[in-house]
Amino acid sequence: MTNKLPFKRVKNLFILSLAGLIFTPHLLPAQETTATDSPSSSSAPPVQPAPQEKPHKKRPDVSHTSLRVDSSASEKSAGKTFDKETEWRFLSSEPSPRNKKEASALANAMSFFIAANPNFPKAPKAWLLLASFHQAAKQNKKALLDYLCLIYEYPKSSEVLEAQSSFLTLAEKTLGRKLKPNWQNLSNPPQGASKEERLASLLENIPQYTGGSLRKASAREFRRFEVRFPRYPQSDAILMSLAQLLAADSQRRKAIIFFREIFSAYPESVYAPKAEFQAAHLYKKIGNYKNAIGIYQKLIADYPQSDKVQSSLESLSALFSKLDQWTLAIKTDQQIIKLYPNTPASKSAFENAIKASRELSDFSSEVSFLVSFADAFSQSRQAPIALYKAAGLCYEKTKDPARAEKLYQRYLAYPGHWYDPASWWRRRRARHRMTILSPLESQLNNSANS
């Protein structure tokens, strides 16, 4: 405490003196006016004003202009000397970073330098330095991508062997041995291809060859490729890989933008139907059902021969059911039954249509779907149960005894109906109801004839 007191006193004195210097010029005129205007000073003899001196003529400030000229000249000279070589000497002569923050800062600076000067003669060495900075910052996945960029962009440089060796060593530690055959193939660029074709093949193969391990690190290279090669003929494949990469990284809204760009800018592309399906799927994931339904319907209309049509119809039926739009769900299920008969998809569509008819209390439609299901899937265990349910609806809901009796007869004569665990109880009830329905039907027929 004794050591801190003198410092506090000096600090307080310094603040007071500084306040005096600031406020004294503003307070002095006020004090003079109050002294002359106050009544107590009227008895004092008037003070004679001092004789005014003639103002001196100001000389032109030649030194100021000369300094201005010198400073602008120095700026021009500095702009001329600070070029690529100067920046490279600065970045390459930096000592090894002492911690992660320094390494990350150097990596950012080197990344900007490489992006601004892709054709620089010493760019391969710059990529090696960038990889070393990323490794020093414990960003091994970014370092792996740096080595790959060097290998694919400058395959004839003398640094390629060093980059391949470093990549394989670091990949075994970072990616694991399960994907070893994949990333070993990835370290060999295609022969006889142009620079943009090599880099495009790298970006297309990264998601599948590395198992998604480098998806975050490679997003930067996708954007860099788009800027450098905006007229690449297979840009739709690059966009598709980027969109899938973002979707796998749970960046759904960004992925939707690139999926939409594919089927909007490249409607003839082979990736367009898949891009529409993926965009609709992501819209469904984030809860935007309106856009999801619109894109599913667009896919069905634009690409009726696509293998994504069946999945789109199934997704539409599920969305309509989720939104309690049962009439639209039934129409979609009928479309699935018509396009894909005797398939698991049509079987699920029958089940959904039966459920939707029940929700609408449309028992006649429910009976029709149950009978059609039994006819379409006569070998399934659910077929006799569907007939029994249809007969029960005719007996209880639609009040159609003639049809109910016929359906009960079909149920009792159905081969293999013992597959039903409750077949004994169902058969007993069906026989009991037929004893009631037979006289009732005869009475109805007699009344109709009379």
In this prediction, residue 60 has a pLDDT band, given cuts at 50, 70 and 90, of: very low
Judge whether 145 and 167 are in contact, CB under 8 Å: no
pLDDT value at residue 34: 39
pLDDT value at residue 23: 47
Asked if residue 334 has pLDDT above 50, the reply is: yes
Q: What confidence tens digit (pLDDT) does each residue in 202-251 have?
A: 888 777 676 566 766 677 778 788 788 888 888 888 888 888 888 887 88
In this prediction, residue 322 has a pLDDT band, given cuts at 50, 70 and 90, of: very high
Domain boundaries, the chain: 97-201, 362-450
- State how far the Cα of 68 lies from the Cα of 120, in Å rounded to an integer: 36
Residue 306 CA neighbour count, 13 Å, CB half: 24
Q: Higher pLDDT residue, 416 or 101?
A: 101
- State how far the Cα of 176 lies from the Cα of 179, in Å rounded to an integer: 6
pLDDT value at residue 65: 39
Asked if residue 289 has pLDDT above 90, the reply is: yes
- State how far the Cα of 184 lies from the Cα of 165, in Å rounded to an integer: 11
Q: Higher pLDDT residue, 164 or 14?
A: 164
pLDDT value at residue 67: 36
Give the DSSP H/E element, type plus range, for residue 354.
Answer: helix 344-359
Percent of the chain with pLDDT strictly greater than 90: 34
One-letter amino acid identity for 250?
Answer: S
How far is it between the farthest Cα atoms of the chain? 144
Mean pLDDT (whole number) for 373-391: 90
Identify which of 214, 211, 242 has the alpha carbon closest to the alpha carbon of residue 226: 242
Q: What confidence tens digit (pLDDT) does each residue in 348-357 have?
A: 999 999 999 9
- State how far the Cα of 278 lies from the Cα of 332, in Å rounded to an integer: 20
pLDDT value at residue 371: 93
Mean pLDDT (whole number) for 390-408: 89
Q: Which of 37-41, 280-284, 394-398, 409-413 comes out lowest in average pLDDT?
A: 37-41
Q: Pinpoint the alpha helices (H) of 210-303.
A: 215-228, 235-248, 252-265, 272-285, 289-302
In this prediction, residue 418 has a pLDDT band, given cuts at 50, 70 and 90, of: low
Mean pLDDT (whole number) for 328-332: 96
Judge whether 255 and 247 are in contact, CB under 8 Å: yes
pLDDT value at residue 69: 39
